[in-house]
Amino acid sequence: MRQFDLAIVGAGIMGLAHAYHAANAGLRVAVFERDAFADGASRRNFGMLALVAQSPGRQLRSAERSLACWQDLARNANVALHQAGCLFLARTPEELSVMSECQNASSTQDARFELVPPDALPDHAAVLNPKRALGGLWSPDAWKVDQRLAMGQIAGWLQSAHSVAFFTQTEVLGIAEGIVETSGGTFKAGHTVVCGGDEFGTLFPDAFRHAQVGRCRLQMMRTRPQPKGWRLPPFLLGGLSLTRYEAFAACPSLPQLKAHQEKNRPDHMAHGIHVILAQEADGSVTIGDSHAYDGNWSAESSDEIDRLILEEALALVDLPEPEIAERWIGHYAHLSGEDALIVRPDPNVTLVTMTNGQGMTHGFAVAEDVIRTVFD
């Protein structure tokens, strides 16, 4: 029977982040992935390492530690990573007030925000039409990875540079007393970390039920490639994001903005819509997203939600090629007020699930702490 120091269930970013730290610590690691490649949340997202969205202190430190690992992977594993920055556009005085408060507060904290007058918006993205906005808030603290390629690149490098064993199309069926039963045979492992994303129903369902973790469902889409030369370098966000991100939680006029949005944008608020646009390397623009919680959704994606997302996106920027080429649904685990759920249902097993919808941003820091705790 093949034997490893660490078995990992799932080859999404959380599984790979654990494999990265364990392999760096010299452990013998095996990763088991049910599908031919990880097709969960880790490749259905914006590829945004959103330091900009974090509250100062512990949360920001965690995102910074993770970023250092991504930078290491960019150097060594050829993972495409660049500092895109992030621009929030204000279209109402209420949004502008929150942005202005955020800039004032950032001079005393470690976040970096700069208020941008309308006529300076094209300095950050030449394609923006200053007449559409009252101003903007710029932060350099957002990095873009190619989410469609990164998991494969990291897995390939872990395999070739660190001899991490990958078993794809291999479902883990059960784990008990150091034995990992899979659809491809039985393995021995000193410890097993389960990084199955929002999969709670199979392995250790009781542990997840006790933790009362839920699921969030998001609608996303991507345009055809924009014409050559049309570039949107930063992540572009609107005012709806201000009421979702921790970075703005301490702004005194945030409650007024929230009340304004609830009165004037009830449909967007009801579907948890806040809009992010991210241009991909091939010129296409990824646009999202909506948030529905705990099964409160129908099986199909909703045209109405797509329409609301696009309406908001096109109010932020004129896309020369607005035709949507791809639509998809993503899911992640959700637990109010918690960034990650870490449970040890058995001395030899740890379950690790990001619960704040920001596994790309925090995953490597969370995994580093788990590996340190387990292997001392």
Tell whether residue 289 is a contact of ligand FAD (CB under 6 A).
Answer: yes
Tell whether residue 203 is a contact of ligand FAD (CB under 6 A).
Answer: yes
Give the 3-state DSSP-derived string for 221-274, with helices as H, strands as E and coil as C: EEECCCCCCCCCCCEEECHHHCCCCHHHCCCCCHHHHHHHHHHHCHHHHHCCCC
Interface with ligand FAD (CB under 6 A), residue from 85, 135, 136, 196 = 196
Amino acid in the structure at residue 180: V
Tell whether residue 354 is a contact of ligand FAD (CB under 6 A).
Answer: yes
Tell whether residue 60 is a contact of ligand FAD (CB under 6 A).
Answer: no
Distance (Å, rounded) from C-alpha 319 to C-alpha 341?
A: 39
Interface with ligand FAD (CB under 6 A), residue from 6, 7, 8, 11 = 11
The residue (of 5 and 39) whose beta carbon lies closer to ligand FAD is 39
C-alpha gyration radius of the chain: 21
Interface with ligand FAD (CB under 6 A), residue from 195, 275, 292, 309 = 195
Distance of CA 71 to the CA centre of its chain: 17
Cβ neighbours around 123 below 10 Å, total? 10
Interface with ligand FAD (CB under 6 A), residue from 13, 29, 158, 236 = 13
Tell whether residue 332 is a contact of ligand FAD (CB under 6 A).
Answer: yes
Q: Kindly determine how many residues on this chain lie close enough to bind ligand FAD according to the rule CB under 6 A.
A: 43
Contact characters 81-120, ligand FAD, x per CB under 6 A? ----------------------------------------
Q: Which residue has the tokens 């924009």?
A: 226
Strand partners, 180: 175, 187
User: Residue 145 Cβ, how far from ligand FAD at the closest point, in Å?
Assistant: 9
DSSP secondary structure code for residue 20 in this structure: H
Tell whether residue 135 is a contact of ligand FAD (CB under 6 A).
Answer: no
Tell whether residue 285 is a contact of ligand FAD (CB under 6 A).
Answer: no
Distance (Å, rounded) from C-alpha 164 to C-alpha 328?
A: 31
Distance (Å, rounded) from C-alpha 224 to C-alpha 324?
A: 6
Residue 58, judged by CB atoms within 10 A of its CB (0-12, 13-18, 19+), counts as exposed
Residue 249, judged by CB atoms within 10 A of its CB (0-12, 13-18, 19+), counts as exposed
Number of H helices, E strands in the chain: 10, 20
Tell whether residue 10 is a contact of ligand FAD (CB under 6 A).
Answer: yes
Interface with ligand FAD (CB under 6 A), residue from 199, 306, 312, 339 = 199
Tell whether residue 168 is a contact of ligand FAD (CB under 6 A).
Answer: no
Q: With beta carbons less than 8 A apart as the criterion, state whether 113 and 101 touch.
A: no
The residue (of 40 and 238) whose beta carbon lies closer to ligand FAD is 40
Tell whether residue 40 is a contact of ligand FAD (CB under 6 A).
Answer: yes
Distance (Å, rounded) from C-alpha 212 to C-alpha 214?
A: 6
Amino acid in the structure at residue 87: L
Q: Quick one: which segment of 32-40, 90-98, 250-258, 298-306 binds ligand FAD (CB under 6 A)?
A: 32-40
Amino acid in the structure at residue 307: R
Tell whether residue 189 is a contact of ligand FAD (CB under 6 A).
Answer: no
Q: Quick one: which segment of 131-139, 251-259, 295-303, 328-336 binds ligand FAD (CB under 6 A)?
A: 328-336
Q: Quick one: which segment of 11-19, 103-111, 248-256, 303-311 binds ligand FAD (CB under 6 A)?
A: 11-19
Q: Quick one: which segment of 33-41, 118-126, 301-309, 340-348 binds ligand FAD (CB under 6 A)?
A: 33-41
| Binding footprint of ligand FAD on the chain (CB under 6 A) | 9-15, 32-35, 38-42, 44-46, 48, 50, 171-172, 195-197, 199, 202-203, 218, 220, 288-289, 330-332, 353-354, 357-361
